[in-house]
Chains A and B, each alone.
Chain A
Amino acid sequence: MARWRFNLPLLLLAALQPWLALAEHSFENTAIVRTVELGGALVHVTTTYAIKALEDGSSVYTLAIPRDEHQKTSWLEVKIKGQSAILPLDLVGQDIKTGILYYAAELPKPLKLNATTNLVVETVQTHATYPWPAEAGQKDPQSLKYETELLVLSPYVTAVQRTKIRTPSPQVHSFTKPEGLEAFTLEDPVTKSGATLTYGPYKNIPQSTSEDFVEDKQKRVTVHYECDFPVIEISKLTRAAEISHWGANLNIEDNIVLHNGGPKLKGHFSRLEHQSSAYFGRSPPHVIPGMTLHLPAGIQNVYYYDFIGNVSTSRLRTAPSVPKGSPSTQFSVLELKPRYPVLGGWNYSFTLGWDSPLRDSAGYDSKTGKWVVAIPVMTPIPSAVIDQAEVKIVLPEGATDFDFYPPFPASMNEVASHITYLDTIGRPTITLHYNQLTDKHSGIIYVTYRVPFSAHMKKPLAVATAFIGVFVLALTWRRVDTRIQRQK
């Protein structure tokens, strides 16, 4: 289970303390290596804990995450190095004083005394960077700032730890040189080579979650670097997926509000400069000229419009449909271009939709007599964050005892009824709400439901009756004499 559960009651410090007390004797970190991949809207952080069990059969490893980092984090998963299985993760509670949140990771099998293993904690942070300077001219480069805590906190004693920060380009304007670390290291606390900053190694760090440690020893580091690709933010994504058995068709429609999170445009947009820079092939990094999206294979009549009609500035290469189950390596590639280049701070909202054959994503389970339809949560947009997402799944009319299995729990979900063309009773719809989706979240929602044959017949019957009614009316009208007085 990738995302932690909020619904667990937060234990307060009182309850927390003894638990930690007994926790800290169970492990020690022989080494912690944190790698921060800086980017635009997303920052990928991979922390590897080399742990050694101090007690026999200790199986619950506790992670500590500072509050502010926790707020930015939208994805958190723990694995054993070299294994694909994701370890179950529980929010234990929050320390009110230090604001640290504790997670308990369940190891697959208890470790013997002095046995070691490597835990890999992967997190994705959204909105972790901010443009600096906040405004940039049309031709200026794009620089971002990223702040983080220097030391990885842990309720256990740590032998050695280091933090590597990789910037997208070797252009690093400035970075913090922490002082007062004599306790942990004697040589230079930070070294820069190319696009990588290395903090550490810092040796024999005590149990670091205590309040006084956080206050005196913990440092903040800031990196000011140049980012040569735009900061793409999707303020809102509304996806509507409509399943139609009559058309054997799955229609997916995305309403997307695009926002350029880079530095705001200083002054005004000059088409002249834009065209000349495009002409010389060096268009500035904070302009979003377009996006290349990978849509599913075998889609038909793709449409791309906004509030005032078609947008004719885009290219599509469709791939042939691939049979269900077989690993689909090929995509339909859509080179999507907004009406205008989206500069720093600008918005652009549009609608993108397509039909795809239902058989590619639906299957009939003859045992249960249920349909199973797979609907992707979103179309992955590289290095973009989706602040709010709403996925609405419209089942065929008359679908009964339906159920849905999202890849990760939604922040909210509701079931409603939706009436569209020639419906009589309306179609059940499932709506799921998400926040802060990243490229890690491109999962698939499985929906199962049962459609009786009668439901299929509803539509034609309704239409037929309507037409017959009209004809009958016409007949009677022709036959009945509506004149007031007969003329002879």
Chain B
Amino acid sequence: MTTKAYALPSDLSPATVTNTTSLLRIIALAFISGAAIASRLFAVINFESIIHEFDPWFNYRATRVLVADGFYEFWNWFDPTAWYPLGRVVGGTVYPGLMATSGVIYKILHALNLPVDIRNICVLLAPGFSSLTAWSTYMFTKELKDESAGLLAAAFIGIVPGYISRSVAGSYDNEAIAIFLLMFTFFNWIKALKTGSAFFGTIAALFYFYMVAAWGGYAFITNMIPLHALALLLMGRYSSRLYVAYSSWYAVGTLASMQVPFVGFQPVRTSEHMAALGVFGLLQIIAFAELVRSHVSSKQFQTLLYASVIGLGFLGTLAIIGLTYKGWIAPWTGRFYSLWDTGYAKKYIPIIASVSEHQPTAWPSFFMDLQFLIFLFPAGVVMCFRELRDEHVFVIIYAIVASYFAGVMVRLMLTLTPVVCVAAAIAFSTVLDTYINPVEPEAPADEAASSEVNSVASDVTNPSTPTPVSKKSKKAVKDSSASSTTGPFGDLVASVTSGKSGKKGERSFGVFGLDTRLVVIFHAIGMLIFFVWHCTWVTSNAYSSPSVVLASSNPDGSQHIIDDFREAYYWLRQNTPETAVVMSWWDYGYQIAGMADRPTLVDNNTWNNTHIATVGKAMSSSEEVAYPILRKHDVDYVLVIFGGLIGYSGDDINKFLWMVRIAQGVWPDEIQEPNYFTRKGEYKIDDEASPTMKNSLMYKMSYYRYAELFGGGQALDRVRGQQVPKTGPTLDYLDEAFTSENWIVRIYEVKKEDLLGRDLKSANAFAQGKKRKRTKPASRRKALL
């Protein structure tokens, strides 16, 4: 009989224990989803219920169309105002999952006489789904270890910044619902694999379809599950369960996913999906082989197997190569390819490279997004090796693949976060189990066994305070099985997960005393507290600002809202004709369409490089060159973002080089990046700036009459920290139409051709000349000469 570290109450019936546990579990989950939602509301509290950033504005606009005109209208919605004059077939070029989701919610609420504004539904969709994500993570982790780990995982993913960064209230983007779908699909896949039930396989397939309809990142699932299946095959773990699960998932899932217009026939045509197809075929072969084996003698079977496998494999590869060669199977798409050849995007697709979230990830951002989970993560992964059940293999693969992707692209941190939470939860709960387990083994050797016995015993004889015991007992069972299966693996486990076996083995039994336990548990709790603190801090400071509204603080410390974007957009909306075409850099396309409701040349769905390059060219070439371009695209207004006055660094002058590069990609002999640098090769906007730079439309529009604001004083650009030339640029082909309060947004009207047929430059000069006889600010006169 082993000693106990502390006494447990012994007068509880197992029924009570189980009931209380489940009750506590439900309450815990409720609290977790509460926390998950609440921590995402900083954005609403600090600012207002508003759609964030750029892409969400399009999703919001599309959703409005969906709820206003109904699904079929939305399905074949051709938007003539985007990509003017080309227009955009929205229905066929979006992942409708997000809009459909909020559309359905909207309809339901209104059917219940809850006339909630569609904007609020869109704003609060992401937080709502984050609680679902927490729940599905709980289910997933439960399959891997147990409820306690599941709860931990749910808590982690509920508040971890890596996920919050894409799901705060108002960031109404595909990722908002995608992560839930990801986790739930994986959960169903695991479930299907364990039980070998076609039912769960089909559910997985359905959610896979939902995922396909919702997010381009579905390719991750499309490759993760086959990879897992393949790994299992290689480990010689083929089973009818695997066969049923995979076949049902793949068959249903693929057919369903082809119903999404934007996806269409890709699942059978593009390389991203070939892995799934290949594994499917392989499974059929193996299943067939198994069937044959059960009928013929093993000797013939050997030869038969070798022959068929080799032959079929050979044929298969040949077929795929041939098809690719014939062009039936498209090669990797650019974005996808840039994941493998990391230099690819930089060389060939400047548009992709220009997006900041496509940059590789440095470790500080890993740490900022995951905090202490990041070093529990490897531990958890290694623990999966203890009892290497199929689902653990899945987690391991997921871990390695996702961490590679996260390393390559910042935005893919999102796919890494769930597995980090799961693995960390496994590790953490193991620690807790180990140290809360009241059983004191005599020796490290048979500790496991004994703990098993006793904990099981303790469960029936003297169950303790509900949660710890019921958890603990299960844990104990696991641990025992684990350390018994540890066999060839013991040393590593010892060195890595040395929590109980190795380290404490050599030391005295005192280590099992309450003191050590308390130390470790307090340490653990401390980490948790710090984690919560960190998450709250990061969320409120880093991830909760809707980049449409900027916040600064008054001298008295109160919050001051800088609302220039909406000021200018609303001006456009109210005081320009419905059909006025607005040209701006593509970042602002969606916002203009959403807030100003005016046609735009280019927007954030960057499907037409040439069109974007055209805008880039217009921006980066001189007025005379740009004017014909503007007129040909009948542009009425040109909108630029200029942060020089209040030091808003994300402005167009800082993005300017990308415009130049993209334009240069299409017109290498007209636009050349080096011309925009000074002699010394610096990027400057002051007197030293190169003539090409100074004559470029972008420069002129940004600094037009800016120096005059300082009334002869030194005009300073607060972003570049450089002196702006005293004699500012002059505009002949454009007219300043509107400038927002802090000069962030500047809108220019494109002049129509001169009535007398003169070119506008001379016309302007003439007008100026007449004016000059009257009083005129000196600067303008000088500038003219």
Contacts and interface: CB of A to CB of B under 8 A. Distances in A.
A271 B113 contact: no
Interface in A407-427: 419-424
B220 interface: no
A280 to B, nearest CB: 11
Contacts of A420: 113, 115
B263 to A, nearest CB: 33
Interface stretch (B28-36, B372-380, B621-629, B735-743): B735-743
A349 interface: yes
Contact of B575 (A275, A313, A346, A422): A346
Nearest to A310: B48
Given A275-B709, A349-B574, A339 B567 contact: yes
A268 B736 contact: yes
Contacts, number: 73
Contact of B570 (A308, A424, A466): A308
Given A308-B595, A339-B563, A339-B566, A268 B571 contact: no
B573 interface: yes
B709 A272 contact: yes
B740 A424 contact: no
A296 to B, nearest CB: 25
Contact of A306 (B113, B570, B738): B570
Contacts of A466: 112
A350 to B, nearest CB: 9
Interface in B48-86: 48-50
B611 interface: no
Given A420-B115, A422-B113, A307 B736 contact: no
Contacts of A307: 570, 573
A273 B11 CA distance: 84
Interface in B552-580: 561, 563, 566-571, 573-575
Contacts of A339: 563, 566-567, 570-571
A269 interface: yes
A270 interface: yes
B571 A340 contact: yes
A270 B705 contact: yes
B50 A309 contact: yes
B114 A347 contact: no
Q: How large is the interface on B (under 10, 10 to 19, 20 to 34, 35 or more residues)?
A: 20 to 34
Contacts of A419: 113, 115
A134 B491 CA distance: 92
B732 interface: no
Interface in A236-289: 267-272, 275
Contacts of A275: 709
B604 to A, nearest CB: 18
Nearest to A350: B570
Most buried by B among A268, A307, A309, A312: A309
Given A339-B563, A421-B114, A422-B114, A271 B740 contact: yes
A4 interface: no
A348 interface: yes
Contact of B566 (A269, A270, A309): A309
Contacts of B561: 312
B571 to A, nearest CB: 5
A269 B738 contact: yes
Contact of A421 (B115, B563, B709): B115
Contacts of B688: none
Contacts of A312: 561, 563
B290 interface: no
Interface string A311-325: 111000000000000
A271 B739 contact: yes
Nearest to A422: B113
Most buried by B among A311, A340, A419: A340
A347 B574 contact: yes
Interface in B688-739: 705, 708-709, 735-739
A347 B708 contact: no
A107 to B, nearest CB: 51
Contacts of B705: 270, 272
Nearest to B595: A308
Contacts of B749: 268
A301 B570 CA distance: 24
Contacts of B112: 422, 466
Interface of B: 48-50, 112-115, 561, 563, 566-571, 573-575, 594-595, 705, 708-709, 735-741, 743, 749
17 contacts: A268-B735, A268-B737, A268-B749, A270-B705, A271-B743, A272-B708, A272-B739, A308-B569, A309-B48, A309-B50, A312-B561, A339-B567, A340-B568, A340-B571, A419-B113, A422-B112, A466-B112
Given A308-B566, A312-B561, A422-B114, 14 more contacts: A268-B735, A268-B736, A269-B736, A269-B738, A270-B705, A270-B736, A307-B570, A307-B573, A308-B569, A309-B566, A340-B571, A346-B574, A347-B574, A347-B575
